[in-house]
Amino acid sequence: MSPGLRRYLYITAAITGAAIMIVEILGAKMLAPYVGTSHFVWTAQIAVTLVALATGYFTGGWLVDRSPRLTRLYGSILIAAVYLCVTVVAVGPVAYWCLQFKLALGSLLASAFLFFVPLSLLAMVGPFFIRVLTSSVSSVGGNVGRLTALSTLGSFAGTLLIGYVLIPFLPNSWTMYLTAALLFCVVAVYFLVWERKSRDRPAVVAGVLAGLFIGFIGVRKDSRSIFANSTEIFRGNSNFGQLQVVDSGNGTRRLYLNDYLVQNIYDPAQQQSTTLFTYMLHDLARAYAPKIESALCIGLGVGVVPTRFGSEGVRVDVVEINPAVVPLGERYFGSQPNRFNLFIGDGRHFVNATTNRYDLVVLDAFLGDSSPSHLMTRESFDAMRRIMTLDGVLVINCFADFHSGTDFFGASLDKTLKQVFPSVRIHAAGNGNVFFVASNQEQLRLLHPPDFNRVHHSCRDQAQAAFAGLVEADARSGIVLTDDYNPVEFYDAANRERIRRHLAMAVRSF
C-alpha cells in the first residue's frame, strides 16, 4: 500500500467518525418538531446509534475477512451518503407516520428507519481499515490505536461542529445534505485517484449524482413554507429548535412557533397578544401581589409579558436561555427590550446566583411542549422563595391535567409547591394551560380584580373562566419532585404525547 493511500484511509476514518456524531445529534434535532425533545427521543436516538455501531463493527470485520477490497468499503460509504440524502426527503412522512404509536415506540421506530442503515455502514470503516492496514501481527496494536484515535478525534470535531456552528446557523436539512456531500467527496477522491480503471466508476458517479439530486429536492422542499393559507415571514435554526414566524392569510394573526409548536399568537393590527397565558401571567400577579416594584421573568417568550410590566414602571429582570428569540420578539411582536434587563442563560443558574429581591417571579419557561424539569423541583422553588420579598408571588404557566390517572404532574407540582410556600392556588380554563400561584403570604386573596376589557376579545371569555376556575389537585396522585428524583417526563409522557401530536397535526393542516 502506498503512503498516500495509507494516509487517505486515516483521513477517511476521521471524516466518517465526524459524520457518525453529526448524524446522531442531528437526527434527534430533525425529529424534534414531530416527536419532541424528551428523554424518550434521546434514548431512542442513542439506542439506535449504539445498535447501528455494533452492527457496523461486526459487518465490517466479517466483510473484510471475505475480501479486503477497498472498493467495497467505499461503496458502503457511498450508500450511506445516498441514504442520508433520502432522510432529508423522508423525515417528515416517516415522523408523521410514527405519531400513531406511543412516544417511546414511535421515536424508536423513526430513528431506526431514518438513521440505522447509514450509521451501520459508516461504522464498518474501523474494523475494515484495521485489517487492510495490518501487514503483520506485530503492527496490529499500532494500527488499532491510530485508527481509533483518529476516528475519535473526528467524532470530537464533528460534535463541536454540529453544536457550535451547524445547528445555530444552518437549517437541519442543509446540515444533513452537506454531511452527505462530504462523504460523496471522500468516495469520489478515492475512485478518481486510486481506482481510475475500476469498472465501478460509472456506478459511483451515478450514485453520487442521484444522492445529490435527492438531497437537493429535500432541501428545496424544506425551504418552502408548509402553511398553505398563511405566509411564513421568518424561519431560522437555533440551539433550542427551529424558530418560525407566520402571518395568517387575512393578517389578523401572527404565530410564533418553536419546532412547529405554537408559542404565542399576536394581532398585528391591535398590537396585542391573543393567547390566554400572556394575560393570566400579568393579571394573576397583579391580582395577588400587594405591590409589584420588581419582577423576575424566567423565560422571555416573545417579550409580551415583561414589556407590559416594564411599561408600568416595574423593574424587570428577564432570564432567557435562547438568544435567537430576542430579535424576533422586538421585530415581530412588539417586544421592547429597553424596558427590561435581559440576561442570557439558564433560569435555575440565575436564581441560584442572584442577590436581588423580587415582589414577583414569573416562571414561563418551555422546552418544546413542556417546562424544563429542573425548574420544577423543591430545591428550585426553595431558591425562588429565597429571592422573593415577604409578600412576594410566584406565577407559573404550564400544561397539566387533573383527571384521575393523568394527573401525576399537576398533583406533583401542587404537592411540591406546598412544601415550600404557605399558600398555593391553581387556575385553569380547560384549554390546556394551567396557572399555579404560590406565595409567602399565609393566605392568597384576590386583592386587585383584573380589568378584562384590556384582554384581547378572542380570549376574554377564557380569561374570565380561568380566574373563576380554581382547581384542587389530588395529593394522592403526586409526589414531591426533587433534584434527585423527578420522573415527570416518564409519568406525564401520555399527556405530553397527546399535546405534541395535536399541535404537530394542527400545524400540518394550517
Is the pLDDT assigned to residue 391 strictly greater than 80? Answer: yes
CB 451 within 8 A of CB 403: no
CB atoms < 10 A from the CB of 190, how many? 22
**What's the whole-model pTM score?**
0.81
Is the pLDDT assigned to residue 256 strictly greater than 70? Answer: yes
Mean pLDDT of 241-246: 88
Of the candidates 460, 507, 18, 482, the residue with the CA atom closest to the CA atom of residue 255: 507
Residue 407 within any structural domain of the chain: yes
Residue-wise pLDDT tens digits, 292-335: 999 999 999 999 999 999 999 999 999 999 999 999 999 999 99
Residue linked to cell 384576590: 446
The whole-number pLDDT of residue 116 equals 97
pLDDT band at 206 (very low <50, low <70, confident <90, very high): very high
Residue 455 within any structural domain of the chain: yes
How many Å apart are CA 102 and CA 70, to the nearest integer?
Answer: 42
342/485 same-domain check: yes
Instruction: Look over the chain and give the mean of its residue pLDDT values, rounded to a whole number.
Output: 89
281/184 same-domain check: no
Of the candidates 272, 306, 311, the residue with the CA atom closest to the CA atom of residue 455: 272
How many Å apart are CA 442 and CA 310, to the nearest integer?
Answer: 28
The whole-number pLDDT of residue 219 equals 85
User: Which residue type is seen at 70?
Assistant: L
237/284 same-domain check: no
Task: Work out whether strand 341-344 and strand 230-236 pair parallel, antiparallel, or are unpaired.
Answer: unpaired
236/301 same-domain check: no
The whole-number pLDDT of residue 136 equals 55
Query: Coil, helix or strand for 438?
Result: strand
pLDDT band at 506 (very low <50, low <70, confident <90, very high): low
Is the pLDDT assigned to residue 135 strictly greater than 80? Answer: no
CB 441 within 8 A of CB 401: no
Residue 213 within any structural domain of the chain: yes
322/283 same-domain check: yes
Rg over CA atoms, the chain: 27
The whole-number pLDDT of residue 392 equals 95
- Helix (H) / strand (E) element for 319: namely strand 315-320
173/25 same-domain check: yes
CB 480 within 8 A of CB 421: no
The strand pairing partners of 434, in sequence order, are 398, 428
Helix orientation angle between 103-123 and 493-508, rounded to the nearest 10 degrees: 80
Of the candidates 356, 377, 337, 349, the residue with the CA atom closest to the CA atom of residue 296: 356
308/209 same-domain check: no
CB atoms < 10 A from the CB of 309, how many? 24
How many Å apart are CA 182 and CA 23, to the nearest integer?
Answer: 13
The whole-number pLDDT of residue 315 equals 97
Mean pLDDT of 238-252: 83
Residue 410 in grid coordinates:
399537576
CB 106 within 8 A of CB 35: yes
337/411 same-domain check: yes
Query: What's the structural domain count of the chain?
Result: 3
The whole-number pLDDT of residue 198 equals 78
Is the pLDDT assigned to residue 225 strictly greater than 70? Answer: no
The whole-number pLDDT of residue 102 equals 82
Is the pLDDT assigned to residue 284 strictly greater than 80? Answer: yes
Residue 85 in grid coordinates:
440524502
Residue 270 within any structural domain of the chain: no
Mean pLDDT of 97-108: 85
Is the pLDDT assigned to residue 227 strictly greater than 80? Answer: no
pLDDT band at 259 (very low <50, low <70, confident <90, very high): confident
Residue 269 within any structural domain of the chain: no
Task: Work out whether strand 423-428 and strand 388-399 pair parallel, antiparallel, or are unpaired.
Answer: unpaired
How many Å apart are CA 277 and CA 284, to the nearest integer?
Answer: 10
How many Å apart are CA 409 and CA 330, to the nearest integer?
Answer: 34
Of the candidates 329, 388, 335, the residue with the CA atom closest to the CA atom of residue 363: 388
- Residues whose CB is less than 8 angstroms from the CB of residue 167 and which lie 6 or more positions away in sequence, other chains included: 25, 26, 29, 175, 237, 238, 239
Q: Which CATH number belongs to the domain containing residue 174 in this structure?
A: 1.20.1250
The whole-number pLDDT of residue 236 equals 87
Residue-wise pLDDT tens digits, 35-85: 777 778 889 999 999 999 999 999 999 999 998 899 999 999 999 999 999
How many Å apart are CA 208 and CA 14, to the nearest integer?
Answer: 21
Residue 125 within any structural domain of the chain: yes
The whole-number pLDDT of residue 49 equals 95
155/53 same-domain check: yes
CA angle 317, 318, 319 (to 5 degrees): 125
237/216 same-domain check: no
Residue-wise pLDDT tens digits, 417-460: 999 999 999 999 877 789 999 999 989 998 998 999 999 999 99
Residue 476 in grid coordinates:
394522592
CB 77 within 8 A of CB 122: yes
User: Final residue of a domain: which of 192, 223, 254?
Assistant: 223
End-to-end CA distance of the chain: 59
Is the pLDDT assigned to residue 257 strictly greater than 90? Answer: no
Query: Coil, helix or strand for 157?
Result: helix
47/134 same-domain check: yes
Residue 68 within any structural domain of the chain: yes
Q: Which domain holds residue 119?
A: 3-223
Q: Which CATH number belongs to the domain containing residue 380 in this structure?
A: 3.40.50.150
Residue-wise pLDDT tens digits, 5-36: 999 999 999 999 999 999 999 998 888 877 77
Residue 450 in grid coordinates:
383584573
- Give the 3-state secondary structure of 60-119: HHHHHHHCCCHHHHHHHHHHHHHHHHHHHHHHHHHHHHHCCCCHHHHHHHHHHHHHHHHH
The whole-number pLDDT of residue 138 equals 59
Of the candidates 246, 249, 268, the residue with the CA atom closest to the CA atom of residue 257: 246
342/471 same-domain check: yes
CA angle 479, 400, 109 (to 5 degrees): 95
How many Å apart are CA 25 and CA 119, to the nearest integer?
Answer: 12
Query: Coil, helix or strand for 434?
Result: strand
Determine what percent of the chain falls in helix, strand and coil, rounding each to the nearest 5. Answer: 60, 15, 25
**CA torsion 420→421→425→427, rounded to 10°?**
-60
Residue 101 within any structural domain of the chain: yes
The whole-number pLDDT of residue 507 equals 62
Is the pLDDT assigned to residue 160 strictly greater than 70? Answer: yes
The whole-number pLDDT of residue 224 equals 61
